[in-house]
Amino acid sequence: MSDISVSQDFTTLCKNLRMSDYIVKDVQTRYHAITKRINKDFWFTDSETSHSFYVGSYGRGTAIYTSDIDIVVELPWSEYTKYDNYTGNGQSALLQSVKSSLQKTYSSSSISGDGQVVVIDFSNGIKFEIVPSFKLNDGTYTYPDTHNGGSWKYMNPKEEMNYFNGRNSLSNNNLKRLCRMARAWNSNMTVLMSGILIDTIAYRFMQNYEYADKSYSYYDWLSRDFFKYLYENADKEYWVKFGDNKHITKKYSFKSESKKAYELALAAIDAYDKGYSYTWHNKWREIYGTKFPI
């Protein structure tokens, strides 16, 4: 019988994947400063919390220590009317306006506006991506896309997060932990999957997974079965996202990397059955990197 503790090792991994308290505090400080600047220039208030919220992996609670920070900032409808009336790419002009606003607070940071976001690269490696948006009567948001002459896109991020949080609750908080572990694998094996693709696939996997609500002591099986699921579904043309049912496609194949991870998980579980602690830990570290304990 092995003296390896599946529960202890995976609990440690999951703890190691979280952002440090220092980084979380830094993110919150910058979030409040960005929000205050937007509110000051567009809403004429000094609020550090109104008209903004976290989205992306940080908003869903699936971010790990390497993740970027995505936030939505809501602007007054008059700004939409102003830039929608531009004869050419008002969306680009809107991004430049938001960029100019943020440069007042972050004059020494690298700020760029392109595509759908304004990006601030801070010197400590944290990157914020800010999506200027306008709230519609039905609770959805429209936001600018500067590509191909400019257009308006639509999103419902709060509904998406409600769906995601609901599934996470049904799975005993295992969905978010799985997403973070998958990000560690994605980073360690240079798989190049997007965060939203990881979260979408993990969401669909957990919908029907028989051990979805189990404890950390099942995380070796959870890992094995998820990588098998990835491998067996790697040729799918697209995935249906939670919340809004948009199609999420992959940019690069992850078939070989998921097959490799599945085989490593099988080898780790075999090592557990034989009591081989060294092999157990090193196989998981080949998958998840050095955040998995020795």
Q: How far is CA 277 from CA 67, 186, 260, 280, in A?
A: 31, 24, 20, 5
Do 217 and 241 lie in a common domain?
A: yes
50 SS3 class: coil
Q: Give per-residue pLDDT as tens, 201-235.
A: 999 999 999 999 999 999 999 999 999 999 999 99
Do 37 and 88 lie in a common domain?
A: yes
Domain region containing 205: 171-288
By the 8 A CB rule, do 26 and 124 touch? Answer: yes
Q: Is residue 56 part of a domain?
A: yes
Q: How far is it, in rounded angstroms, from Cα 201 to Cα 242?
A: 10
Q: Give per-residue pLDDT as tens, 81-97.
A: 999 999 889 999 999 99
Q: Is residue 10 part of a domain?
A: no
Would the pTM of this model clear 0.75, i.e. be above it? yes
Do 141 and 209 lie in a common domain?
A: no
Do 61 and 123 lie in a common domain?
A: yes
Q: Is residue 257 part of a domain?
A: yes
Total tally of structural domains belonging to the chain:
2
pLDDT of residue 134: 98
Do 195 and 132 lie in a common domain?
A: no
Helix axes 21-38, 90-105, angle to 10 degrees: 120
Q: How far is it, in rounded angstroms, from Cα 64 to Cα 106?
A: 25
**Mean per-residue pLDDT, 177-189:** 98
**Mean per-residue pLDDT, 179-194:** 97
Do 130 and 210 lie in a common domain?
A: no
Mean pLDDT computed over every residue of the chain: 96
Q: How far is CA 135 from CA 34, 76, 81, 138, in A?
A: 19, 9, 13, 8
For strands 141-145 and 127-135, give the pairing. antiparallel
pLDDT of residue 1: 42
Q: How far is it, in rounded angstroms, from Cα 5 to Cα 119?
A: 42
Do 142 and 33 lie in a common domain?
A: yes
Q: How far is it, in rounded angstroms, from Cα 196 to Cα 18?
A: 18
* Residue 277 pLDDT greater than 50, yes or no: yes
Residue 218 CB coordination number (10 Å): 18
Q: Is residue 283 part of a domain?
A: yes
